[in-house]
Amino acid sequence: MARPGSGVLVSVGGGLGYSSQSMARVVVWEWLNEHGRWRPYTAAVCHHIENILKGDARGSVILGQVDPQLSPYVIDLQSMHQFRQDTGTMRPVQRNFYDPSSAPGKGVVWEWENDNGSWTPYDMELCVSIQNAYEKQHPWLDLSSLGFSYLVDFDSMAQTNRQSQRRRRIRRRMDLAYPLIAGSIPKSQSWPVGTNSGTPCSCQQCLLVHSTRAASNAILASQQRRKLYGMAAGTGDQMAPTVRQSNTFAGTSLWSSGAAVAGGHHNNIAVGGGGGGKVEMSTLNFPCAPALMNLPTTHTLTINGQNNLNRPGTQRIVVSTSRGSIPPGVPALPVKNLSGSGPVHPALAGMTGILLCAAGLPVCLTRAPKPILHPPPVNKSDLKPVPGVNGIRRKTKKKHLRKGKNPEDVVRRYTEKIKVAPDEDCTICMERLVTSSGYEGVLNHKCIKPELVGKLGKCGHMYHLLCLVAMYNNGNKDGSLQCPTCKAIYGEKTGTQPPGKMEYHIIPHSLPGYSESKTIRIVYDIPAGIQTTEHPNPGKKFTARGFPRHCYLPDNEKGRKVLKLLIMAWDRHLIFTIGTSSTTGESDTVVWNEIHHKTEFGSNLTGHGYPDPNYLDNVVVELSAQGVGEDNLKD
């Protein structure tokens, strides 16, 4: 059914945020991505951040405590930066405010369908604009004034790229409302930066948190110096190299391309009272044990042309190649690859930037622990089958669609007709159930009239039958249905995993936290190939990076149960899919399909290892969400 009224062109600055005079407002925490867009955290994460903020406005927030997918990330509330622990990447965060009657206040989330069939939420300002237009019953919305060449059509629930004319589905769903607070809004969204007195904790997590804070403070201090003093210039031998602090520590150069370089080497640090001595990172030979970096009292460290060590409130750092003990109260900073003359690792460059820019802190360089990805070598004779599991290998071939699965028959099998439809929205087409389906005229099925409404058997959610047919036609057409509201699965859900091989066996080594048990090792191997009709780009090649992939489970009762469920998920083509990699950005490649695996054998530095006491329970929940439940296991 067409929506009344005319479309609307979004005006910039049209009150997307919230007035500081109001007493109540909704808080949305956001992070800045590489494209300069502020991306919102989920409502659950924002509630977690606000709870931490109430207790300690200068504290740190470990995001993995509320969302396992965010386990590598820590937010430093003092400097308003997000820090990724395994790569050293830093991104600014902000605390934004919206009207309680806007989309985040109501828990409304607008999303668009990406290339691999999953849903991506819009930026919050776009979400607010789309919801405002939707509530005013505009038939369309032009997003060009917000920097996006898209036209949102509410009648077809699709967005169209004005340049390429490509259409994508969009959807509106309900989620947890964002936190509501009362009181005056602070003028600044970041807190004052100060030093942390007292003896730091020596645990690994606190070391990383201290590193986050030092790096954040360094960036802010460097920006302030550039504003106040500008870039210092010199001539002849008095000129020192300029060090540029990058906005992110991952994959970017720490040193300015315009820096003065001595002896033909790059990565030089100017040390000296008059521009005399230079210490080259490529020739420094750091000792294996923690060593205190010292400079003679006549030398100073020059950054951005400023003599930072002689400024008020800062301390000198003295250079000594001898090994020594770490003084009390000096935080030890883990840094990767301290020795060697090869290219500087991005994380090393970032951590070195922390030391240079935060020169007011005495810091000791130590070697960062390396993740233990694989167990010690194992002889083939030591590989044993898993008790209670048949065989040691599973192969999958090209999936053949089941014949005889007529869309109308599938929909009728799992629904019952409703004679009197309630006056509420169909969450597929967003039309009222008392009116015809939004797919009227788009789909023609003689057996299903557009005004018919059905109720799903297990969960009881109601939709237009024609909308369910349209949803089925856009899926795998495998004879199963999944409720778009509660995700309940009807029938046996299958995925789009390409052909490959899965092996599993027991190795005579123990995982951290499971010293009494041996280990189940799973090896997945999928070769590159050509996409088929069920994949995003049929006929196009797809890549398979990082195979074979090794994963680990404890050899106990619960671990064996998880293995059986993973085998079932593999047989149903649910472990992997073809899409865009979230780590490399590569498209048309084999990626994990929302079932987390532990790929780190002897540590948990990346968040994908052990000990993790909740992992086995969490993965059972993830498998259940894919329709692979414990009730499917045979005794």
**Is residue 556 pLDDT above 50, yes or no?**
yes
Retrieve residue 616's tokens: 């086995």
Alpha helix locations (H) across 275-406? 346-357
The predicted pLDDT at position 614 comes to 93
**Is residue 334 pLDDT above 70, yes or no?**
no
Cα dist. 345→89, 237, 358 in Å? 12, 30, 20
Strand pairing class (364-367; 332-335): parallel
Question: 414 versus 400: which is more confidently predicted?
Answer: 414
Q: Note the pTM of the prediction, 2 decimals.
A: 0.47
Distance from C-alpha of 414 to C-alpha of 480, rounded to nearest angstrom = 9
User: Token match 């004034």: residue?
Assistant: 145
Start-to-end CA distance of the chain, whole Å, equals: 51
Question: 475 versus 369: which is more confidently predicted?
Answer: 475
Q: How many CB atoms lie within 10 A of CB 57?
A: 11
The predicted pLDDT at position 263 comes to 39
pLDDT tens by residue, 418-456: 888 898 999 898 899 999 988 887 777 777 888 899 999
Identity of residue 315: Q
Helix (H) / strand (E) containing 615: helix 615-625
**Is residue 210 pLDDT above 70, yes or no?**
no
Q: Is the dihedral of CA 330, 332, 337, 339 positive or negative?
A: positive
Backbone angles phi, psi at 411, to 5 degrees: -65, -45
Alpha helix locations (H) across 42-89? 43-55
Is 532:520 a contact under the CB 8 Å cutoff? Answer: no
Percent of the chain with pLDDT over 70: 65
Cα dist. 400→472, 494, 522, 543, 572 in Å? 17, 11, 26, 22, 12
Distance from C-alpha of 105 to C-alpha of 18, rounded to nearest angstrom = 12
Distance from C-alpha of 196 to C-alpha of 266, rounded to nearest angstrom = 34
Distance from C-alpha of 553 to C-alpha of 559, rounded to nearest angstrom = 6
Residue 23, judged by CB atoms within 10 A of its CB (0-12, 13-18, 19+), counts as exposed
Is 227:216 a contact under the CB 8 Å cutoff? Answer: no
pLDDT band at 291 (very low <50, low <70, confident <90, very high): very low
pLDDT tens by residue, 589-610: 999 998 999 999 998 888 899 9
* Average pLDDT of the chain to the nearest whole number: 74
Average pLDDT over residues 208-219: 51
Measured CA angle at 79 (ends 73, 85), to 5 deg = 25
Nearest to 389 by CA among 557, 631, 617: 557
**Is residue 487 pLDDT above 50, yes or no?**
yes
Nearest to 210 by CA among 367, 333, 90: 333
**Is residue 620 pLDDT above 90, yes or no?**
yes
User: Token match 């505009």: residue?
Assistant: 138
Q: How many CB atoms lie within 10 A of CB 456?
A: 21
Question: 78 versus 327: which is more confidently predicted?
Answer: 78
The predicted pLDDT at position 367 comes to 52
Average pLDDT over residues 146-150: 82
Q: Which domains does the chain have, with CATH numbers?
A: 31-137+174-182 (3.30.720), 407-485 (3.30.40.10), 500-632 (3.30.390.130)
HSE of 5 in the Cβ direction (CA atoms, 13 Å)?
A: 15
Distance from C-alpha of 126 to C-alpha of 138, rounded to nearest angstrom = 15
pLDDT tens by residue, 176-195: 999 988 766 554 343 333 33
pLDDT tens by residue, 451-484: 899 999 889 999 999 999 988 888 778 888 889 8
**3-class secondary-structure state, position 152:** strand
pLDDT band at 348 (very low <50, low <70, confident <90, very high): low
Q: Most confidently modeled of 4-8, 47-51, 549-553?
A: 549-553
The predicted pLDDT at position 276 comes to 38
pLDDT band at 159 (very low <50, low <70, confident <90, very high): very high
216 CA to centre of own chain: 20
Distance from C-alpha of 615 to C-alpha of 57, rounded to nearest angstrom = 31
pLDDT tens by residue, 71-99: 888 898 888 888 887 777 888 999 999 98
The predicted pLDDT at position 152 comes to 93
pLDDT band at 221 (very low <50, low <70, confident <90, very high): low
Average pLDDT over residues 248-252: 34
The predicted pLDDT at position 514 comes to 95
pLDDT band at 393 (very low <50, low <70, confident <90, very high): confident
